[in-house]
Structure formats: C-alpha cells, structure tokens
C-alpha cells in the first residue's frame, strides 16, 4: 500500500468535547458534504480518541478513532425524520466498560471464530489468543476493536467525503504472523450511500478477514427489537456450527429451515424454531454463503426493511459470506446512546466476511494473504425509504 498521507484540513468542532454540541454543530452542514472532528476522551493506552462526523444532505455518521467504531448513523425515515440506526454508547466509558461488545467496531485481524485459535500456514503451526472459551474470536483479547487508529479525511469531486483510518499490526500481535498494514475507509456519498473499503498488506504469509460489527435497528437504536424487521438474503446455503459455534465443515442448504431468507421474511417469524441450529445460537448467529457473483466481485448480499419507519438498507459486498447476528446476547444491562436499554434482539449485525474457521477448512474460500498480495474488500450500505402501506 502507498505511504499514509497526513491529515487534510477539516472543520474543528467546539473543543468542549460534548457529543450534544458536536451533534448540533454538524446537523446543518455548511456544504453538501462535510466533516468535523472533536475530542471524545482518552483511551487506556493514553492516546486521545477523536470523534469524526461525516454529513451528507440527509445522513450523518460519527466514527471514533478507538476501534474505528461507527458510533452514530442518522438516517431519515419516510417522513424525513432522522434517527440513529446503530447501537452504541454516548461516551467512551461506555465502550471501555463493555470490552466484549463490538458495537460499530472494525474487527480483525480475523473476523468471527478460529477453532482452538490454531491454524497451520506454510508448514508452521500458529497459536492465536483464545478469548472465547477454547476459541479465538474477532481478533483476540486486544483486536482491532480496541486499538487506536490514525485518521485523515479525503474528498472526491464533491461526490463523497471519507475518513481513512490506518494502523500497523505488529508481527505476533494476538499470535498472528507478519506485520500487517491496514487501512479502512468510511465514505459517505452525496446520494447517501455508506461505503466501507478495507485494504491490508503483510510482510509474511498470514490470515485476514476484516469486517464492521455495527448492529442495526432501522426503527432507531433503543426503540425495541428488530423482530418485525424483514430480511432478504442472497444465500441458499450456510455453514452449520457445533455447540461452540465453530463450523462443522459442511455447507448446507437453507431450504426447509428457519435460515431460509431467500425471499423477504420477518426476522422474528421463525427465530424461536425448534431446530438444532437455532437452539444452539439462541437465535440467528450464522454464516451465509453469498451467490450470484465471481469471487471478489460486488454482489447483492442483503436487504432489511422496517415498515414501521419506512427505512430500508441494502448491502452489497465483494466478500463471499455474510454473518447474520440478531443480538442474542443482549439482556437489557447495556444502556445505549439514547439512554434506553438494549434488550435481546435489539439489533441485527450483517457482517461481510470470509468464512469462519476458514484457515482450518481447505474447502472454504481462502483467507490467506501473502506478502506479494493486497487484501481488498468493499461493502456498501444503501439507505432508502418506502411509503406507508395503505
């Protein structure tokens, strides 16, 4: 990857650090596309955490340099009323006090699970940290979600504004081989598309799967569950898991199961089905195999529809799979940015990714990155509205 560029000029928000004042300052952008920066707190590492707010004519997105987290995503409903549709906290302390919650974060080096935290590469056995029982999850104890990211902003012909986050993951970090240079770009376009662009390069053969772990509630975060949301997936197959949610190695059909979302279906209509896969995960927490495109080409992945607000979200990605997680572990103990508790099924994550445990499953798409290669992945979120049903 080319050397990282320094900060570009941006508008500075008030120095009080108040999220409410920053929200007011950025609600009416001085241009069609705008970005502002304000301090958000001090990380345990001693580094200053900044909050960047990107605005378009209708959408506002706030991103933290701690974990590269999407903290706020304000999107209009059918009446033009904006609400935050991602789960998150109002302060940095909220994120620090819930270290196992990945709200809005960049997760890596390897998203999802690696069995026993072990894999073999180039004839050598590697041991990753095991932070979920006997297994490795989302990059380990101190994955990308808990790291500081350097930030700069870019613009493109008045069509989009973007925040570029970068960090260097050292050789041996959480057990991963090679020095990994990573850049993640969050872009907001003038027509209200959110694009996430991931790039990585390594000095030694390693494994990489990067994603964003936002949980969405299109009615607005803290307003209840997503059980009445409707979901459609471009997937006729999925990878079943065992009791530890490690893939069994099978690639199974979704036909005649509660995992069949090939047509628009209410998420809650079968979430309590008496099927082994649903019982083991206590809801949806499954890797779906995406179709209709060659490996590495962008394809339709998912559509979420909330008829209550009229908001819809379409996801497109170059990744081969999508993890669907319905907030099964939420229990009302976490209080979000709105001041409301997050109950079970309070949000849905749609994580574009490589298959979980792919390093140990040679029949799964590869997740190996060599020194002469560039990891490049794109995901787009397209927000629209539908009219009220008559």
Q: How far is CA 80 from CA 194, 345, 373, 378, in A?
A: 18, 26, 44, 28
Torsion angles phi and psi, residue 335, rounded to 5: -105, 120
Q: Which of 160, 174, 351, 380 is catalytic?
A: 351
Q: Is 351 a catalytic residue?
A: yes
Distance CA(280)–CA(105), nearest Å, equals: 25
Q: How far is CA 197 from CA 166, 194, 275, in A?
A: 12, 10, 36
Distance CA(360)–CA(115), nearest Å, equals: 8
Distance CA(291)–CA(23), nearest Å, equals: 40
Nearest Cα neighbor of 142 from 181, 178, 96 is 96
Nearest Cα neighbor of 282 from 251, 316, 256, 243 is 243
CA 119 to chain centre: 24
Q: Check if the beta carbon of residue 218 is closer than 8 Å to that of residue 306.
A: yes
Cα R_g (the chain), whole angstroms: 20
Residue 53: CA atoms inside 13 Å, Cβ hemisphere, count?
27
Residues 158-167: b if buried by 16+ CB within 10 A, e if exposed:
eebbbbbbbb
Q: To which residue do tokens 């002469």 refer? A: 372
Q: Check if the beta carbon of residue 256 is closer than 8 Å to that of residue 273.
A: no
Q: To which residue do tokens 């707190």 refer? A: 41
Q: Is 11 a catalytic residue?
A: no
Run of H or E residues at 93: helix 92-96
Distance CA(101)–CA(98), nearest Å, equals: 6
Q: Which of 136, 138, 213, 229 is catalytic?
A: 213
Q: Check if the beta carbon of residue 299 is closer than 8 Å to that of residue 314.
A: no
Q: Which residues are CB-contacts of 197 (< 8 A; sequence separation ≥ 6)? A: 184, 185, 187, 376, 377, 378
Catalytic residues: 213, 351
């Amino acid at each position: 990857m080319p050397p990282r560029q320094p900060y570009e000029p941006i508008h500075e928000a008030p120095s009080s650090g108040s999220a409410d004042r920053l929200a007011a300052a950025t609600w009416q952008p001085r241009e069609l596309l705008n970005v502002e920066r304000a301090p958000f707190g001090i990380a345990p590492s001693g580094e200053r955490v900044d909050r960047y707010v990107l605005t378009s004519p209708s959408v506002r997105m706030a991103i933290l340099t701690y974990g590269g987290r999407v903290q706020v995503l304000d999107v209009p409903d059918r009446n033009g009323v904006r609400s935050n549709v991602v789960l998150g906290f109002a302060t940095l302390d909220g994120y620090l006090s819930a270290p196992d919650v990945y709200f809005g974060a960049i997760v890596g080096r390897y998203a999802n699970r690696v069995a026993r935290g072990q894999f073999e590469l180039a004839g050598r056995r590697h041991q990753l940290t095991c932070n979920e029982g006997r297994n490795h999850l989302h990059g380990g104890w101190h994955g990308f979600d808990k790291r500081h990211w350097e930030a700069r902003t870019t613009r493109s012909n008045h069509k989009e504004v973007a925040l570029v986050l970068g960090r260097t993951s050292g050789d041996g970090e959480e057990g991963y081989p090679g020095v990994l240079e990573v850049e993640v770009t969050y872009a907001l376009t003038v027509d209200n598309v959110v694009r996430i662009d991931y790039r990585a390069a390594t000095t030694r053969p390693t494994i990489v799967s990067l994603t964003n772990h936002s949980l969405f509630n299109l009615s607005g975060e803290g307003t209840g569950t997503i059980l009445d949301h409707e979901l459609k997936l471009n997937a006729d197959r999925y990878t079943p898991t065992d009791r530890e949610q490690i893939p069994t190695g099978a690639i199974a059909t979704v036909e005649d199961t509660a995992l069949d979302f090939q047509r628009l279906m209410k998420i809650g209509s079968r979430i309590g089905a008496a099927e082994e896969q649903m019982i083991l995960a206590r809801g949806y927490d499954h890797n779906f195999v995406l179709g209709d495109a060659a490996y590495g080409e962008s394809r339709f992945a998912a559509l979420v529809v909330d008829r209550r607000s009229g908001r819809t979200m379409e996801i497109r990605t170059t990744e081969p799979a999508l993890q669907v997680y319905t907030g099964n572990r939420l229990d009302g103990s976490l209080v979000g940015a709105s001041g409301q508790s997050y109950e079970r099924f309070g949000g849905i994550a749609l994580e574009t990714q490589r298959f979980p445990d792919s390093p140990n499953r040679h029949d799964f798409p590869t997740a190996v990155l060599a020194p002469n290669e560039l990891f490049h992945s794109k995901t787009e979120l397209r927000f629209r509205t539908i009219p009220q049903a008559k």
